[in-house]
Amino acid sequence: MSYRVYLVDDAHETLEALRLQYEIHPEIDVYGMADDSDTAWEAMSVRRPDIVSIDIEMGSASGFDLCARVVREMPGVFVVMCSVDADDERRRQAMRAGAHWFLAKPVGYGDIRQLLEAVRKSRSSGDGHAVDGTGGAGGPGRDQEANDGLWDL
Amino acid sequence: MNRLLGSVKRWLASEGDSSSGVAEAEITSGVGGSVHPQPETVGGGTVRVGRSFIVVGNPPGGGALAVCVVPDDSRLTVTIDGRRAVGRVALTSDQEIVVSLVHESPARRFAVEVAEDRFEASVRVTVRPGVRRVLEEAGPVHEAVLRVLEEPWLPEEAPASEVLDLLTTRGLKGRPDLRAVAALCRAQVETSMVVLRGRRPTHGRGERYRPCGLAADWAEQPGEAPWVAQGALVGQLESAVPAVPGIDVTGQEVRVFEDGGRQALLRGVRDAGGSVVAVRSGRILFTRARIDVVPELVLEGDLTSRDGQVIFDGDVAVRGSLQEGALVKASGRVVVSGDVLEATVEAGRAVEIAGAVLRANIHGGLARALYTRAHVLVIEMREDWERFRGEYSQLLEHADARPDLSDKTHLLAGILLSRRYRRLDDCLAATMTWEDSYYLRHDPCINEFTQQIRSKWHRDVRQGILPDDVDQFGVVAARAEEHLRLLLTEPMPPVSAHSISSSQVDATGDIVVHGVGVFSSHLESGRDILVEGVVRGGFVLAERVARIGELGSPVGVESSVRVNSPDGLIRIAVRHGNTLVDLAGRRSRSTSTEHNVKWGERSHVV
């Protein structure tokens, strides 16, 4: 099974690092990247991704808005919020916006591996968009537990 | 008062005048022993105050009596004819005047401390100095005011038996260090000294090969290993050194086991009567776990995708650059003299790139990752194995009691595995993938283990497992676990480069970037990351330590660093705004430029 991934982040350097991270996994195809919400929405409307990674702070725009819009209008897309701000409030906001996962920067191999397991689990349960987990990469042990717990919901 | 007087007299006899508590008037009247000369009287009566006595002289013919002023001081008691005197009192020589001064005796206490390993016992002496009180000497005068002076009083030397008895009481045995004991007995300040030493055991070791004909310390050093020609002598067998038991300070014997045994000889070497000889030319690999001569493939010039993939069991040295689409996959080290541009390097051991890394993937230390996984697997297998063996023995006894099962016992182990020990069964199956790895496949110790599984225990062949096979498996598995443990003590292979841009780099060992820095890249290390220059954009993740010259940029390029270990360290000389530092989940985002940022306390230096 392969997954199409779209990355949204206003920092070009971060987009590049994220692309490298995702592409190390052979089942992932990063088919596009954008540094603003509008460009991302247009691209995803043309070709819908399986997974979209959205930065929270993108200049004046908020990644939460894009997240909510994708969740609302593109059911089945697995939405990942990815941010340097990873406190509990940010995670709750991401959950309220409908995000399925939360990645705290910097993102490591293990974080992407966990994310992919979550996506597979979501797909195998036939419920690709109904997961309201917001685990993350704040620290491996804590995140793993948090993610596991949330996925049990 | 008589009792006090008696004790004062006894003490006087032992201590001398300086602490006398008896007034001279009483002594001179014949009660005491020593006699002080009567002071010369001038006009009226006189009084002379000694350190612990008072001598009174009557006035010659009808003059005024001598006067003494006795302070109301808890440290001093003056009695005149049995009654305590305080204040201004007139004195005559026929009065019994007793001076009592309160002293604080010095104290010396000994305590025994036994070291955690029980090979040393120390004695700590605590000294509390005392205070000796005396009267300020005066006179002879007509009127004297008594004043109490204080002098320090140090303890006398304690008898050695006091310390030795203490050791015996604590059940400690051995020959004490009498010089230390004597020093403790004389100590005037708090002191601790080792007074008893056990005999530490001498660790033995099994037969092992030592390097020869090569520099003495190269075997454990990272970096370029010596090149040897086919037929070269690289090692010599050393005899075993037997372990010698020790004895602790409680008299208990302490035994130690012999460490390790012969290193595994990989296929690049062979034993010729105790000498290790290279059977091919290449780079030497000589550690506590294994010896090999790793073939080296030297590629002159640049390498591109047109040259095809380079996949080599050994070390690879590229004298030029790796360019667009090139792939080098080596079970050993990869050394690139130039740059790595849009290419991929996968190395079982270290990767050294003299130049820049651009839009490339670099993976170092893959063999170690393999050893780690294999070690975990063998540990799990052995845990399950212990339970399996116990249950197998029980079932075997039951089967022996049933004649109808006597010809089926060879099936028992297989049935037990597949029905009740699924994890062990899965682990056994997983070892078959080890044969895909150069290092695991050609390591004799690992190979012995996998061959045993393949021949007896694999699901496809599991038909005739006998009790001896079960026992033998335990032995071979224990050997494999120890061997893998030793392999994991070898230095972690590093990855080094001059600069890294838009690239993915991971290593089980350190990552060292000694040039301008790292740009828009992802670095992940199982140990430490050192970037002498700048990290601008991207992610840097280390297990223990991250040292960075400059993180981010003055215009706020988002950059982040994470160290996983809670006792790790992050040091950044210049940290700009919009950068994130994460030490085991403790996160900090910077909004302005900071200098000499230090997170964590680890003193390790990359």
State pLDDT tens for residues B150-192: 999 999 999 999 999 999 999 998 889 999 999 999 998 999 9
The enclosing H or E element of B349 equals none
- Dist. CA B443–CA B263, nearest whole Å: 10
The pLDDT-based confidence of B224 (bands split at 50, 70, 90) is low
Per-residue pLDDT, B148: 95
Per-residue pLDDT, B120: 93
Q: Which domain holds residue B32?
A: 1-198
Angle between helices B467-487 and B444-452 in degrees, nearest 10:
150
Average pLDDT score over residue span B80-107: 93
The enclosing H or E element of B530 equals strand B528-542
Q: Are residues B163 and B216 in the same domain?
A: no
- For the cut 80, the answer to whether the pLDDT of residue B481 exceeds it is yes
- Do residue B564 and residue A140 have CB atoms under 8 angstroms apart? yes
- Is this complex scored with an ipTM above 0.95? no
Average pLDDT score over residue span B86-90: 93
Q: Are residues B192 and B215 in the same domain?
A: no
The pLDDT-based confidence of A55 (bands split at 50, 70, 90) is very high
- For the cut 60, the answer to whether the pLDDT of residue B115 exceeds it is yes
- For the cut 90, the answer to whether the pLDDT of residue A61 exceeds it is no
The enclosing H or E element of B5 equals helix B2-15
Encoded tokens for A36: 């603003």
**Option in A24, A84, A138 nearest B504 (CB):** A24
- In this structure, is residue B203 part of a structural domain? no
Sign for the CA dihedral angle at B174, B177, B181, B184 comes to negative
- For the cut 50, the answer to whether the pLDDT of residue B311 exceeds it is yes
- For the cut 90, the answer to whether the pLDDT of residue B504 exceeds it is yes
CA-CA-CA-CA dihedral for A99, A104, A109, A111, to nearest 10: -50
- Do residue A105 and residue B537 have CB atoms under 8 angstroms apart? no
Average pLDDT, chain B: 86
With beta carbons under 8 A apart, name residues in chain B contacting A17: 520-522, 537-539
- In this structure, is residue B345 part of a structural domain? no
Per-residue pLDDT, B216: 45
**Residue B148: burial class (beta carbons within 10 Å; 0-12, 13-18, 19+):** middle
CB B154 within 8 Å of CB B106 = yes
The enclosing H or E element of B50 equals none
Per-residue pLDDT, B1: 39
The SS3 assignment for B438 reads: helix
- For the cut 60, the answer to whether the pLDDT of residue B37 exceeds it is no
Half-sphere exposure of A80 (CA within 13 A, CB side): 29
Q: Are residues B482 and B545 in the same domain?
A: no
- In this structure, is residue B167 part of a structural domain? yes
Q: Are residues B277 and B374 in the same domain?
A: no
Q: How many CB pairs under 8 A join A and B?
A: 77
- Do residue A106 and residue B582 have CB atoms under 8 angstroms apart? yes
Distance from CA of B504 to the nearest CA of A (A): 6
Per-residue pLDDT, B166: 93
The SS3 assignment for B242 reads: coil
Q: Are residues B34 and B171 in the same domain?
A: yes
Beta bridge partners of A6: A32, A52
The enclosing H or E element of B49 equals strand B46-49
* Chain B residues bordering chain A (beta-carbon distance below 8 Å): 361, 502-504, 506, 519-522, 524, 536-541, 557-562, 564, 580, 582, 584-585, 587, 589
Q: Are residues B158 and B229 in the same domain?
A: no
Q: Phi/psi of residue B82, each to 5°?
A: 85, 0
Q: The pTM is what? A: 0.65
Q: Phi/psi of residue B33, each to 5°?
A: -100, -60
- For the cut 90, the answer to whether the pLDDT of residue B16 exceeds it is no
Least confident of A120-134, B187-201, B315-329, B591-605: A120-134
Residue with tokens 């001179």: B28
With beta carbons under 8 A apart, name residues in chain A contacting B539: 17, 21, 105-108
CATH superfamily of A3-152: Response regulator (3.40.50.2300)
- For the cut 90, the answer to whether the pLDDT of residue B510 exceeds it is yes
The SS3 assignment for B514 reads: strand
In angstroms, what CA-CA distances link B204 with A139, B200, B209?
A: 43, 12, 15
- Dist. CA A121–CA A101, nearest whole Å: 13
Encoded tokens for B33: 């022993």
Least confident of A91-100, B279-288, B383-392: B279-288
Average pLDDT score over residue span B107-118: 92
Per-residue pLDDT, B447: 87
Q: Are residues B156 and B19 in the same domain?
A: yes
Average pLDDT score over residue span B311-330: 92
Q: Are residues B476 and B382 in the same domain?
A: yes
Per-residue pLDDT, B490: 84
Number of H helices, E strands in chain B: 10, 44
Per-residue pLDDT, A19: 93
Distance from CA of A93 to the nearest CA of B (A): 19
Least confident of B46-55, B102-111, B200-209, B540-549: B200-209
Q: Are residues B182 and B44 in the same domain?
A: yes
Q: Are residues B403 and B526 in the same domain?
A: no
- In this structure, is residue B518 part of a structural domain? yes
With beta carbons under 8 A apart, name residues in chain B contacting A142: 585
Question: What does DSSP say about strands B361-364 and B594-599: parallel, antiparallel, or unpaired?
Answer: unpaired
- In this structure, is residue B336 part of a structural domain? no
Domain count, chain B: 4
Distance from CA of A88 to the nearest CA of B (A): 12
Closest alpha carbon to B511 in B487, B486, B536, B535: B535
Per-residue pLDDT, A152: 28
In angstroms, what CA-CA distances link B371 with B268, B293, B367, B436, B482?
A: 20, 19, 6, 13, 12
**Amino acid at position B80, single letter:** I
- Dist. CA B126–CA B11, nearest whole Å: 26
Number of Cβ atoms within 10 Å of the Cβ of B88: 11
- Do residue B537 and residue A142 have CB atoms under 8 angstroms apart? no
pLDDT in tens, B352-402: 999 999 999 999 998 888 888 899 999 999 999 999 999 998 888 888 787
Closest alpha carbon to B244 in B277, B206, B203: B203
* Chain A residues bordering chain B (beta-carbon distance below 8 Å): 11-14, 16-17, 20-21, 24, 84-86, 104-109, 138-140, 142
Considering only residues B404 and A79, tell me which one the structure prediction assigns the higher pLDDT: A79
- Dist. CA B451–CA B171, nearest whole Å: 54
With beta carbons under 8 A apart, name residues in chain B contacting A139: 564, 582, 584-585
The pLDDT-based confidence of B258 (bands split at 50, 70, 90) is low
Number of Cβ atoms within 10 Å of the Cβ of B238: 15
Distant-in-sequence contacts of B58-63, Cβ < 8 A, 24+ apart: B58/B92, B58/B93
- Dist. CA A90–CA A56, nearest whole Å: 9
Distance from CA of B243 to the nearest CA of A (A): 43
Encoded tokens for B596: 């000499």
Q: Are residues B446 and B533 in the same domain?
A: no
Nearest chain A Cα to B566, which residue? A139
Buried b (16+ CB within 10 A) or exposed e, B16-38: eeebbbbbbbbbbeeebeeeeeb
Per-residue pLDDT, B28: 30
Distance from CA of A65 to the nearest CA of B (A): 21
- Do residue A16 and residue B564 have CB atoms under 8 angstroms apart? no
The pLDDT-based confidence of A58 (bands split at 50, 70, 90) is confident
Distance from CA of A91 to the nearest CA of B (A): 15
Encoded tokens for B21: 């508590």
3-state SS record for chain A: CCEEEEEECCCHHHHHHHHHHHHCCCCEEEEEEECCHHHHHHHHHHCCCCEEEEECEECCEEHHHHHHHHHHHCCCCEEEEEECCCCHHHHHHHHHCCCCEEEECCCCHHHHHHHHHHHHHHHHCCCCCCCCCCCCCCCHHHHHHHHHHHHHC
- In this structure, is residue B355 part of a structural domain? no
Considering only residues B543 and B9, tell me which one the structure prediction assigns the higher pLDDT: B543
Least confident of A23-27, B89-93, B502-506, B592-596: A23-27
Q: Give the rounded percent of residues in chain B with a pLDDT score beyond 70.
A: 89
**Option in A20, A106, A138 nearest B541 (CB):** A106
Residue with tokens 């002080």: B36
Number of Cβ atoms within 10 Å of the Cβ of A32: 19
The pLDDT-based confidence of B202 (bands split at 50, 70, 90) is confident
Considering only residues A13 and B436, tell me which one the structure prediction assigns the higher pLDDT: A13
The SS3 assignment for B173 reads: coil
- For the cut 60, the answer to whether the pLDDT of residue B463 exceeds it is yes
Q: How far apart are the first and last CA of chain B?
A: 78
- For the cut 80, the answer to whether the pLDDT of residue A131 exceeds it is no
Question: What does DSSP say about strands B511-525 and B495-501: parallel, antiparallel, or unpaired?
Answer: parallel
Distance from CA of B191 to the nearest CA of A (A): 47
- For the cut 70, the answer to whether the pLDDT of residue B18 exceeds it is no
Q: Are residues B465 and B556 in the same domain?
A: no
